[in-house]
Chains A and B, each alone.
Chain A
Amino acid sequence: MNTTIYTEILTWTPTLLNGFGLNIAISLVAMTFGTLIGWMLASGRHGSSRCIGISCNLATGLFRNIPSFVLMFYIAFIIPIEFEWQDHVIQFPAWIKASIALAVPVIGFTSDQFLYLRSSHKQNNTVALPMFFIAWTQYLVIILMASSTASVIGVHEIVGRANTAIEVLRDPEFMLWIYLYVAAWFLLAAMAINVILKLISHRIHQHYS
């Protein structure tokens, strides 16, 4: 790597990090809404009504098995860029579409996790809640990785911004380095989350043993 590429990457770093903030925001929005709906589905699956139970089971299976990448394309194509409502033009930003698409697998995942949590809770399994938290955080890492695909529907997140930088500089060597640099940020974030998780689970083990 020569010095010009090094300085170019430094100049682009603030832009890229702002983009990475968007990745994190999209992931958190997807996790929050996905978890809420997943919780509702799990309650339905566990509830007294058989009819609701079956439909919640079906919905969980559906959400669990739809690839988020295909769904992202689907949502981007089907939901218009903007629409009129009572004489107002309402914009539908791409990052919301990406969040919706990423929330869907979260629904499937958390619905299963909540169901498992409930049954363990009934057996007085005290480690169940911390275990749920650990699994949830590991899934957050998966969703953070998947948020990179939002660039293909026009979200200006970190990969999208790296592509802009590549357009401006048009240097094949720079292209390789900036992609590696972006990958390093994802790796760093994932590792940071894992280290925090390890510390917490260590604490939990100490607490319960």
Chain B
Amino acid sequence: MIIRFSHLLILFSFFFTNALAASDSPRLDLIKSRGAVIVGVKNDYPPWAYYDASGNLVGLEVDLAQDIADRLGVSLKLQAVTSSNRISQLEQGSIDIIIATMGDTAKRRQQTGIIEPSYYSSGATILIHKKSPLKSWAELYGKSVCLTKNTYLNRDLIERFLLKPQKYEGTLDNMAALQFGKCSGWIYDDTALTRLLQEPRWQDFKAPLDSIMLIPWTLAVKKSEKDSTLGLLVSDAVIDWHRTGKILALEEKWKIGESKFILDQNKKWNKKDEKGSFVCQRLADNSLPANCLSKKSIGATAEIKSNILSQWGIDFPPAYDNYSLHLLLNGIYITLLLSVVSIIGSLLFGIFSGIGLYKLPAPLAWVASRVNDIFRMTPPLLNLYIIFFGLGGLASLHYGIQFNAIVVATVVFSLYAGASNGALLCQALHAAKKYHPEDSSRQLFASAFQHAYEGINANAVNIVKAVGLASMIAVPELISSSNQIIAEYGSKLEMMTFLLVFYFIIVYAFIFLLNRLQRWVGKNKESDGELV
């Protein structure tokens, strides 16, 4: 009975949608009867849409508009729009479609018919001198950076990277500031910067980092037309552009340079499953699979975000997005790995230097002890910089050797805590010798280790507290991955609170485990004594 009923429903809806198809879009009917589609484009945004020398609107977006007109089988009429009037013009009906460098935001989704998937994406990237050692966004924390005055990105950038901004008016000012080393780099819209880099006067500069704070660009139709035949037709056109590589070709035509977003989209929409059909294609209910849409537009879609946390107004990206969950878990894994390996390293170095300091003859011991002091009494952050950037930079310059950041971090933390462990052990060994001069060196070591254990334990906990410093040399540990999630989703408060709570728990967990270990070692020692 139930099966029959559902069959009936499918049959019914099939006829229903088919019957509607011809007339569900009054706008499409109007376009057909008018014989032309009116597309709103910009007129001041080369090479996307601008007036050429003879006063015609040309550009990449104009080419896309022409493609839409061809698909509709009508002629193209262009109308210049601005950022402030494009949506009202669309909703009032003076244009049919917007193709005007419009970013996908939650607010615009309420106002108008945003078409998915997005056809382009812009973000912020950084222009640096070719000699600059910058390798990751994390290295910019707290640095002086050039920004262009009155750019919408600025506020977010300053807050996310805690920058010391130097704001300049235009291209020339920023170039001069960069040349004189007033700032580490110039962060600005990536579409503008990649174009600048093609000019000969910028040949000493590069933009090596992936863009951040990506905003997908989207086409739009009138809000009531979003799910109509017109909306679907436009959406299918965008999918087709990604599959056929049309936008890649247009990027070449307009000398914009391949963008990573478009390359990714091209791959994504061409991916096939084992049966040979596209992984990303329109589902039966005309929607698109969520993992085929860009992350930011998922962020803007309220339905996917709905989970237990969001009911409380908490926006925790790992709760609804696999990509950020993966980032977070990987960050946790690296943090734990770094902690455990560094603790083991600090124990080994501590035993080595402790016994060394104890056994060496007086003048040598004095020298060794001063060397030990160097590791103890210099900030670990500075030691990370010295080895990774200082020595690492020279090694790659002269010998082509690249230092591995995780290895550098492990060595620095092991030496930092290990040197303290060594000093503690040496002291304890001297004390043990004083009170039990007849003990074998093995017994001496055992009792010295027992005495120094509390301090060694505290040093181990300090390692766990310090591993976050590794984020400064671009180790993808928890702070790095949280910052990356913040940079892409903007959930600052949630991610930072998670970080703090996580660290609190993990420090407690390590204290608990180390205390257990101490008791276990103590017990074993007692049972050893009984046996003897």
Contact = CB atoms under 8 A, between A and B. Distances in A.
A182 B144 contact: no
Given A67-B466, A67-B468, A69-B469, A77 B131 contact: no
5 contacts: A65-B511, A148-B381, A149-B381, A159-B379, A175-B393
A173 interface: yes
B208 to A, nearest CB: 15
A186 B465 contact: no
B162 A172 contact: no
Contacts of B468: 67, 69-70
Interface of A: 62, 65-71, 73-74, 76-78, 81, 94, 141, 145-146, 148-149, 151-156, 159-160, 163-164, 167-170, 172-173, 175-177, 179-180, 182-183, 186-187, 190-191
A180 B389 CA distance: 12
A62 B508 CA distance: 10
Among A67, A74, A175, A180, the one with the most B-chain Cβ atoms within 10 Å of its Cβ is A67
B391 A176 contact: yes
Given A69-B469, A173-B394, A183-B386, A163 B143 contact: yes
Cβ-closest 6 pairs across A and B: A176-B390, A168-B181, A67-B465, A190-B377, A148-B379, A154-B142
Contacts of B261: none
Chain B residues touching A, majority SS:
helix
A193 to B, nearest CB: 9
B496 A62 contact: no
Contacts of B389: 175-176, 179
Among A156, A169, A176, A186, the one with the most B-chain Cβ atoms within 10 Å of its Cβ is A176
Interface of B: 129, 131-133, 141-144, 158-159, 162-164, 180-184, 373-374, 377-383, 385-386, 389-391, 393-394, 397, 461, 464-466, 468-469, 472, 479, 492-493, 496-497, 499-500, 503-504, 507-508, 511
A78 to B, nearest CB: 7
B381 A70 contact: no
A164 to B, nearest CB: 7
Given A170-B132, A191-B373, A66 B504 contact: yes
Contacts of B499: 70, 73-74
A183 B492 CA distance: 33
Contacts of B469: 69, 149
Given A67-B507, A172-B394, A173-B394, A152 B500 contact: no
A66 B377 contact: no
B229 to A, nearest CB: 47
Contacts of A172: 133, 390, 393-394, 397
A169 B181 contact: yes
B142 A151 contact: yes
A191 B181 contact: no
A69 B384 CA distance: 15
A88 B249 CA distance: 54
A163 B469 CA distance: 16
B393 A186 contact: no
Contact of B496 (A77, A81, A180, A191): A77
Contact of A159 (B131, B382, B465): B382
Nearest to B499: A70
